[in-house]
Amino acid sequence: MGEIEELKSFYSEIKGLIDVFNKLDDDQLINKIKELKKREIFEEEDFLKLKIIIAEIEASFTRDKKREKVLEGLLELSIVLEEYFPRENCILIFSSMEDPYIENFIYELKNKNMEIYLKTSEEDFLTEAYLIIPDAVLIFDDSEERGKAVFQNLKDNSFFENILLLVVGSSSWEKRLYFINQGAIDYIDLTQNNEINAQKIKNITKISSLIKKCSVKDPLTGLFSQNLGLELSRVKFDQSKIYDTDFTMVLIDIDDMKNINERYGKTSGNRLLKEIAFIIKENLKEGEMAFRYKEDELFIVFPEVDINEAFDRLSGIKDIAYKMKEIIGFEFSFTAGIVKKGKALDTLDELIDKAKKCVEMGKEKKKGEIYIWPEEAEKKDKKILIIEPDNMTMEVLKKRYELKGYKVFTALSANDALEIFEKEGPKVIITEFLLPGMDGDILTKRLKEMDRNTKVIVLTSQKMEMYIERAMKAGADDFITKPFSPVELDYKIEKFA
């Protein structure tokens, strides 16, 4: 196998490994990495950089067992590979017929040092496209209109959104206009000089290559581009579903960006975006990421971060950003929406849509604020009071329900609990029966007198029936004995809150 073919094979293998990444367990993953290290390409001194990256991937996973580090390494490897394996001349052609014009045309393309892949069936064509990721696609316009059908199918396939589509043929002007109106970059006339046509296509593929190089990082902000950002987000989102961990996204929308550009100039608007992006990058932790979604919209992805921590982290970013107003030289603000993966959410697209709606609804209320998607905000507004004389038990419960999005208050005694209840009015009370100064049944009665809609759960190590009876007669809504099932308590709180 030649050097180029080896590089192509290795590149395809890396891409394939990224595609099935979430389906592999840890043992399968490390075995795949070890197989990659055995490739002959690593014996060449010219490819030392690749060897270093793959060694770092293996060492990182062996040492830290962090799958996201492996994924980031594989993505870096695929990007670096493209430096060794220039793809600005990679053309995929679909033709359903044999024709001397087509053969002569392909001959001229090859003379321009372009890599040509010709397929005559749509199935083979699509398979090859997914494997090589061409810079441009050429579709031959035939009298049976198979080329037209294939072109339309490609326009409906999201995979080809960032691949240049060209049509080659000698049809009427009406048909040429149809393809151009449908989004073809150009219609190449086969009756014209083939050498000129071939050079024109080569120039077009260079443009495609430049677009690809810019698509890894957004050139203005230095954040991931939209395409790569969404690809990484989907991987991390899928991981959170597999491992049942938190997944929170933040959409930041710079307020009135159009007015800023018109009043202070596009350069000032760009500087503002760059500064905010820099602050975001400086405040990201391992495994987190950010990408530019649209001109004035930035996404932050927080894997394994609950909605409360995301809110606090974003508030910190906002405080730092707003201190730049004197440096920037004009007033600005941004509105942000926070959403998190829920059991009902099956796709990342749904989460992104909710983030956009959250920002949109927020701007209608007041710009420059941070908003939580209403379902989560409603939960965050629900208050719980935990009355527990044992500090360890209280801290465990407090942390558990804060992570679940509740606002949690704690008290060590009944008297402290009554003061908090009068001031904060929590909907759900979780209390031990035996408390300093007042038993749980008396406390329950007092709480019910203050607000009969309050729900009281007695959580205690007292298992005697007399305690259960006293608590229920006083108005307790439920009684759970220790040791208890956290899932059972979750259910009770969710039901009452």
On whether the pTM is more than 0.85, the answer is no
Is 113 found in the same domain as 34?
A: no
Domain count along the chain: 4
Domain boundary among 373, 398, 416: 373
Asked whether residue 322 is domain-assigned, the answer is: yes
Cα–Cα dist 494/71, whole Å:
37
| pLDDT tens, residue order, the chain (497 aa) | 456 667 777 777 787 787 777 778 888 888 888 887 777 665 555 556 666 777 777 777 777 667 777 777 777 777 667 655 555 578 899 987 777 777 888 888 888 888 888 888 888 887 777 666 788 899 998 877 888 889 988 887 766 776 889 999 888 888 899 999 998 989 998 888 888 888 888 888 877 766 665 567 777 888 888 878 888 898 888 888 877 888 999 999 999 998 998 888 877 888 899 999 999 999 998 889 999 998 899 999 999 898 889 999 999 999 999 988 888 889 999 999 999 987 655 688 889 989 999 999 899 889 999 998 876 555 555 789 999 988 888 888 888 887 677 889 999 988 999 999 988 889 899 998 888 888 888 999 999 888 888 899 998 777 778 888 888 889 999 888 887 777 788 888 877 87
Asked whether residue 464 is domain-assigned, the answer is: yes
Cα–Cα dist 232/75, whole Å:
9
Is 256 found in the same domain as 350?
A: yes
Cα–Cα dist 385/387, whole Å:
6
Is 433 found in the same domain as 419?
A: yes
Domain extent for 60: 3-84
Is 157 found in the same domain as 133?
A: yes
Is 394 found in the same domain as 455?
A: yes
Is 415 found in the same domain as 344?
A: no
Of residues 248, 401, 277, 230, the one with CA closest to residue 338: 248
Is 364 found in the same domain as 237?
A: yes
Assigned token pair, 184:
């073809």
Q: Could you tell me the CATH number of the domain that includes residue 182?
A: 3.40.50.2300
Is 191 found in the same domain as 76?
A: no
Is 52 found in the same domain as 190?
A: no
Asked whether residue 161 is domain-assigned, the answer is: yes
Asked whether residue 220 is domain-assigned, the answer is: no
Assigned token pair, 309:
């921590």
Is 479 found in the same domain as 359?
A: no
- What are the C-alpha distances in Å from 93 to residues 97, 109, 147, 182, 297? 12, 11, 11, 19, 37
Is 230 found in the same domain as 207?
A: no
Domain boundary among 182, 214, 246: 214
Q: Could you tell me the CATH number of the domain that includes residue 267?
A: 3.30.70.270
Backbone φ and ψ of 134, nearest 5°? -70, 160
Assigned token pair, 237:
């989102």
What's the angle, vertex CA 96, arms to CA 94 and CA 102, rounded to 5?
Answer: 70
**Which amino acid, residue 471?**
A
User: Which residues, at least 6 apart from 88, have a Cβ–Cβ distance to it below 8 Å?
Assistant: 135, 205, 206, 208, 209
Is 366 found in the same domain as 243?
A: yes
Asked whether residue 219 is domain-assigned, the answer is: no
Asked whether residue 221 is domain-assigned, the answer is: no
